[in-house]
Structure 1
Amino acid sequence: MIDEALINRNIAELRQRIRLIAQECGRDPNDITVLAVSKTRPAAAIRVAASAGLTNIGENYIQEAVDKQLELQDLPLQWHCIGPLQSNKTRLVAEHFHWAHTVDRLKIAQRLNDQRPSTLPALNVCLQVNIDREPQKAGVAPDELKNLAEQVATLPNLMLRGVMAIPAARDDTAAQRQTFAAVRACFQSLQGEYPQMDTLSMGMSRDFPAAVAEGSTLVRIGTDIFGART
Structure 2
Amino acid sequence: MPQQYPETPGGDDARGFLFAPDGSGSVFELERAEHGLQLHARHRPKYAPLHLEWRSREQQRRVAGGKRQLLGRAVGLHKHAGLHVLDATGGLGRDAWTLAALGARVDLVERQPLLAALLRDAHARSLADPAYAVIAQRLNLIENDAAAVLGGGHWDVVHLDPMYPDHGRHALPQREMQFLRELSGDDGDADALLAPARAACRLRTVVKRPLHAPHLDGRMPDFQLTGTQARYDVYLPS
What TM-score results when the alignment is normalised by the length of structure 2?
Answer: 0.33
Higher relative contact order (CA 8 A, sep 6+): 1
